[in-house]
Amino acid sequence: MRLLVTGGAGFIGSNFVRLTGRVRPDTHITVLDAFTYAANEASVADAPCDVIRGDVADPGVLDEILAGFGPDDAIVHFAAESHNDNSIASPGQFVHTNITGTFEILEAARRHDVRLHHVSTDEVYGDLPLGTPEAFTEDTAYRPSSPYSASKASADMLVRAWIRTYGLRATLSNCSNNYGPRQHVEKFIPRQITTLIDGGRPRLYGSGENVRDWIHVDDHNAAVWEILERGRMGETYLIGADGQASNREIVRELCLLCDRDPDEVDFVTDRPGHDRRYAIDATKLRRELGWAPEHTDLRSGLADTVEWYRENREWWEPVKAAVEAKYAEVEEVL
């Protein structure tokens, strides 16, 4: 089987390529990645794939890659601008990559009659109140809050329209917050881990009470494989591992894992429009496809992740100072 993996030099895509090498070694993967600031050469340098540098919104490069694809081959579309804070500061690139890029992927899939799996986020559903048992399901109405989530919601809508109108063979998944190795240090968990490793104080937005539903990146990617192989065409599957925790709780755990005082944290300027809580009800995925997460103990998943950042300093150190300098322009300690 041939797979075009877009965004394969980013966090989830590069872990997908590596997981595929372990569980489906006969798959031939071509990564298409624009190598934006979010990509890391080292994430794919020793990964089992061919790598092409290019923009998903470029139909020419898509045609070149897909020319050799047959009816059993597929595209797994991870490429995106993925960071909410960046989307608030400068939304234009999010419209280009997430909306126009997905449009071009859809048109290329249609021209070459290739099956598509579109990777999306639970943020398209907006947020939930704190302290209630509600969770998102496949039937929850779209209500995105940020330019990032609005651009992902737009992309999902395009995919759904191409399925219905053109009969495109496609599936979608909306996953909760991922953690694990090779996540950019701008994101919450790697930012706090690398700050702690360097002896600094973790930084919590606002009150730190916002809740995210954490899933290990390998569990997300294993679910993507289940959907690729056995998902019903045209369907959407929510992916989540019942990993709800407040940002304050995550930071406490990371401090303890780094032998630091959990009360030595800074509360800083809140994110505008900050979503309060996300939670996924993954019943459909579990019942229909028999998927279940393997990393069910968040504490041990975080411990492994801390260990990875300790052991791979050369992977993150070159960009850490610049990321912190950018945050310093907008953050004030409360």
- By the criterion CB under 6 A, which residues form the site for ligand NAD? 6-7, 9-13, 32-36, 38-39, 55-57, 78-82, 97, 101, 119, 121, 152, 175, 177-178, 184
> In angstroms, rounded to a whole number, what is the distance separating the alpha carbons of residues 107 and 75?
12
Q: Which of ligand NAD, ligand TDX, none does residue 188 bind to, with CB < 5 to 8 Å depending on kind?
A: ligand TDX
Name the catalytic one among 125, 148, 179, 278: 148
Whether 284 contacts 229, CB under 8 Å:
no
Residue keyed to tokens 């944290």:
265
Instruction: Spot the catalytic one: 33, 104, 122, 213.
Output: 122
CB of 148 to ligand TDX, least distance (A): 7
- Report which residue type is found at 182: R
User: Residue 334 Cβ, how far from ligand NAD at the closest point, in Å?
Assistant: 26
Shortest spacing between CB 127 and ligand TDX, in angstroms: 10
Nearer CB in complex with ligand NAD: 101/202? 101
Contact 140, 194 (CB under 8 A): no
169 or 187: CB nearest ligand TDX:
187
Contacted entry of ligand NAD, ligand TDX, none for residue 247, CB cut-off 5 to 8 Å set by kind: ligand TDX
Q: Using CA atoms, how far apart are residues 182 and 273, in angstroms rounded to an integer?
A: 27
Q: Smallest Cα–Cα separation from 218: which of 301, 156, 284? A: 301
CB neighbours of 207 closer than 8 A, spacing ≥ 6? 248, 267, 270
Going by C-alpha positions, the residue among 134, 126, 182, 113 that lies closest to residue 152 is: 126
User: Which is closer to ligand NAD, CB of 184 or CB of 295?
Assistant: 184
Sign of CA dihedral 189, 125, 116, 230: positive
**Rounded Cα distance, 193 and 186, in Å:** 11
Of ligand TDX, ligand NAD, none, which one does residue 212 interact with (CB within 5 to 8 Å by kind)?
Answer: ligand TDX
Q: Choosing among ligand TDX, ligand NAD, none, which partner's interface includes residue 11 (Cβ < 5 to 8 Å by kind)?
A: ligand NAD
Q: How far is the CB of 261 from ligand NAD (least distance, A)?
A: 28
User: Taking the complex as a whole, how short is the minimal distance between the CB of residue 116 and ligand TDX, in angstroms?
Assistant: 19
Active site (annotated) includes residue 113? no
Given 104, 123, 253, 281, which residue is catalytic? Answer: 123
Shortest gap between Cβ of 294 and ligand NAD (angstroms)?
A: 18
Question: What is the spatial distance between Cα 190 and Cα 182, in angstroms, rounded to a whole number?
Answer: 9
170: which strand partners? 116
Residue 205 partner contact from ligand TDX, ligand NAD, none using kind-dependent CB cut-offs of 5 to 8 Å: ligand TDX
- Considering the complex, state which of residue 108 and residue 202 has its C-beta at the smaller distance from ligand TDX: 202
Record the tokens describing residue 256, joined without a space: 């303890």
Q: How many Å apart are CA 144 and CA 122, to the nearest integer?
A: 9
Binding interface with ligand TDX (CB under 6 A)? 82-84, 121, 123, 177, 187-188, 191, 203-205, 210, 212, 247, 271
Please say if 226 is a catalytic residue: no
Q: Using CB distances below 5 to 8 A depending on partner kind, what does residue 56 bind out of ligand TDX, ligand NAD, none?
A: ligand NAD
Whether 265 contacts 203, CB under 8 Å = yes
Q: What is the C-alpha to C-alpha distance for residues 191 and 41, in angstroms, rounded to an integer?
A: 20
Q: Which residue lies nearer to ligand TDX by CB, 77 or 191?
A: 191
Instruction: Choose between 70 and 272: whose C-beta lies nearer to ligand TDX.
Output: 272
What single DSSP character describes residue 31? E
Is 122 in the active site? Answer: yes
Q: Which of 67, 155, 143, 162 is nearest to 118 (CA)?
A: 155
Active site residues: 122-123, 148
